Amino acid sequence: MLEKEYKCLLTFDEYDRVKNHFEWDSAKEQTNNYYTDDNGVFSKNRIMFRVREKDNRAVIQVKSRKNSDSALQICEETEFPIDSVPQIIENPEKYTGVKSGAARRIGAAVTLRRSKMWDDNTEICLDMTTYFDKHDYEIEIEYTAEDIPAELKAELNRIGIVFSEPSKGKYSRFLDEYHAK
C-alpha cells in the first residue's frame, strides 16, 4: 500500500491547540517496537522495520521511503500479522525483500494517537509519543486523494500549523535518541 502523509513536529503548545480545536473520533495507544540489523542494510535502503501493538494484536510493519526533503512523506507500507513481539527476527528478508541478517529489537515508543476523519479520503492524526523518557508531538494528515483538502490546510493555518519543513518520522527520531544514549 502506498501511504501519503504530511507530517509536522509540534511544540507542546501547538499540540494542545490542535487537540482542543477538533472533536476527535478516537484516542488509542499503540506501541511501536523498533528493529535494526547489524549490517545497516535497513538504513541504507531507507527501510523502517517495526512490530506495532495496537488493539490487542501485533503486526510487523515495513515502510520504505519513496521521497525525501519534504513535509510530504510517501512510503510503501506492508503489514504481516504476528503472534507476539520477538526480541530477534531471524529472517526479516521475507518481509523486507532485502538481505540483512537478523533484525533485533532495540526498544519501543508508545504513542497516544487521536484521529479524526476529515472526509472520506483524509484522516487527521495527532500524536504524543514517549520513548527514552522523552515526549514529542506530531500531526499527520494521511490522504488517498491527489492532495489534502484546501479547507483543511486553511483551517490548520488559522491555528498556526503549516506543513512547510521536512519532518523526521518517529523511527528516525527514535534512532537519534537511541544513538545519543
What's the average model confidence in pLDDT over 18-26? 98
> In this predicted model, which residue has the larger pLDDT, 53 or 1?
53
Nearest to 20, CA basis, from 157, 126, 151: 126
Q: Give the residues across from 48 on adjacent strands.
A: 63
Q: Cα 22–23–26 angle (5° rounding)? A: 120
| Segment 81-123, tens digit of pLDDT | 999 999 999 999 999 999 999 999 999 999 999 999 999 999 9
Nearest to 88, CA basis, from 31, 35, 30: 35
Where do runs of H (alpha helix) occur along 68-169?
A: 93-96, 150-158
- pLDDT score of 1: 66
Phi, psi (deg, nearest 5) at residue 170:
-60, -40
In the chain, % of residues over pLDDT 70: 98
What is the pLDDT of the chain when averaged over all its residues?
Answer: 92
* Full-model pTM: 0.90
- CA–CA gap between residue 180 and residue 175 (Å, rounded): 8
Where do runs of H (alpha helix) occur along 9-144?
A: 12-21, 41-44, 93-96
| Residue 4 Cα distances to 80, 131, 139, angstroms | 20, 25, 14
Residue whose C-alpha cell is 484522516: 123
| Segment 34-87, tens digit of pLDDT | 999 989 999 899 899 999 999 999 999 999 877 766 677 778 889 999 999 999
Q: Is the pLDDT of residue 28 over 90?
A: yes
